[in-house]
Structure 1
Amino acid sequence: MTRSPVFPYPFLSSLSAGNWRHLAACAGADGEIFFSDDQAASSGAQRLCDACPVVRECGAYAEEAPERFGVWGGMTARQRGWNPAGVRNRGRRGEAA
């Protein structure tokens, strides 16, 4: 028998891993804005995340995966502690090393 993962957010505890994605504000959006080098596109992606009901789950996924590029959970890769080469900075979530 397989066990369901434990979710850090009780209000979504009934969802299985990854099922939160269909509730995301970005579902059906142009994915290119989330992986663009253009600051305006990244800002647009982050604004979409501002209204997202599963932004915390998305951010938690990005940390666990780990997603080294793109906007996840309302944060850019740099804000999550990744440099442009996809290498984790010593400090996490944009902290100075």
Structure 2
Amino acid sequence: MIERFSLPGTITSMHFDTITPAHPAWQAQALCAQTGADFFFPEPGSSVREAKRICGMCEMRSACLEYALKNDERFGVWGGLSEKERLQLRRTR
């Protein structure tokens, strides 16, 4: 949820809006939605092998990766890539 303040008329009449971003359709179809976040957001130093295995079978993998790159996701496994792998990919683009 994103909170936004706007001034519809004057400074004295402040208006508060709440914007809820649209839920990307691919997320509901992704395999990670059925397995839980523990695999995809492991403790530092833990293996991401299982997350990558699940991602490898997921039809939404490319949409997931594009989402992570577009939104600068810094943590977890997205689209089959770890944080370091996504950073390397961003640098080569």
Fold-level similarity (TM above 0.5): yes
**Partner in structure 1 of residue 89 of structure 2:** 93
Equivalents in 1 of 2:56, 2:65: separation in Å? 12
- Equivalenced residues, count: 69
Task: Tell me whether 1:51 sits opposite 2:47 in the alignment.
Answer: no
The alignment-based identity, stated in percent, is 32
Larger radius of gyration: 2
Residue of 56, 61, 67 corresponding to 2:67? 61
Higher helix share: 2
Shift of 1:30: 2.2
- In the superposition, the TM-score normalised over structure 1's length comes to 0.63
Q: Secondary structure at the match of 1:79?
A: helix
Aligned-CA RMSD value: 2.1
Higher strand share: 2
Paired residue type of 1:75: L
Answer yes or no: is the 8 Å Cα contact 1:78–1:94 preserved in 2: no
Equivalents in 2 of 1:48, 1:24: separation in Å? 10
- Which structure 2 residue ranges, 5 or more long, are not aligned? 1-21
**Partner in structure 2 of residue 80 of structure 1:** 86
Residue of 15, 26, 30 corresponding to 1:24? 30
- In the superposition, the TM-score normalised over structure 2's length comes to 0.66
- Which structure 1 residue ranges, 5 or more long, are not aligned? 1-15, 82-91
Q: Which runs of 4+ in 1 moved over 4 A?
A: none
